[in-house]
Amino acid sequence: MTAMKIEQAWNNALAGVALWARTNSPWVLHFNTGSCNGCDIELLAALTPRYDAERLGVKLQASPRQADILICTGPVTRQARDRLLRIYEQMPEPRFVIALGSCALSCGVFHDCYNVVGPLDRFIPVDVYVPGCPPRPEAIIYGVIELLKKLHPVDVILEGGSA
């Protein structure tokens, strides 16, 4: 085996471990970009023991530097836009985004408000959309599972071999 092939096998093994860790225990960061708090309460319910998203390995993370998934609630307001972009840039690659609730998807009831600059996907790429006003905890957990399904197993493929 040449040195290049050994390095490639090593990189594939590392990518496989990283994918396994990410899909078995995704760390999520929550950011309110202008929500009325209805969506935030439902997200809180999804993460606390009644719905217990932690049984799927989902863990709330306070720092963007250690988060895999950014979950945003509400329309993007003028005040939140720069912070949203900064938080997104601070997340390590690969990073994923879930838009939670009608306001994050389309500005919802805040459409055309003086302080609203647009829906979430106008500013950062969104991987999963969870509609509802607000979406129920079951829908939120379903959205996270759909994202994890998208990551597995063929999406993370290194050049020259599968992860």
| Region 70-89 residues binding ligand SF4, contact defined as CB under 6 A | 73-74
Which residues fall within 8 angstroms of residue 120, CB to CB, at 6 or more apart? Answer: 33, 72, 75, 76, 84, 97, 99, 104, 105, 126
Of 151, 155, 92, 97, the closest CA to residue 124 belongs to: 97
Q: Shortest Cβ distance from residue 55 to ligand SF4 (Å)?
A: 25
Point out which span in 5-13, 36-44, 55-63, 112-120 binds ligand SF4 (CB under 6 A): 36-44
With both helix axes pointing from N to C terminus, report the angle between 38-47 and 137-151 in degrees, rounded to the nearest 10: 70
Instruction: Determine, following the binding rule CB under 6 A, whether residue 113 of this chain makes contact with ligand SF4.
Output: no
Number of residues interacting with ligand SF4: please give it, by CB under 6 A.
Answer: 13
Instruction: Determine, following the binding rule CB under 6 A, whether residue 119 of this chain makes contact with ligand SF4.
Output: no
Of 103, 89, 122, the closest CA to residue 32 belongs to: 103
Single residue of 35, 53, 70, 130 touching ligand SF4 by CB under 6 A? 35
Single residue of 102, 127, 128, 163 touching ligand SF4 by CB under 6 A? 102
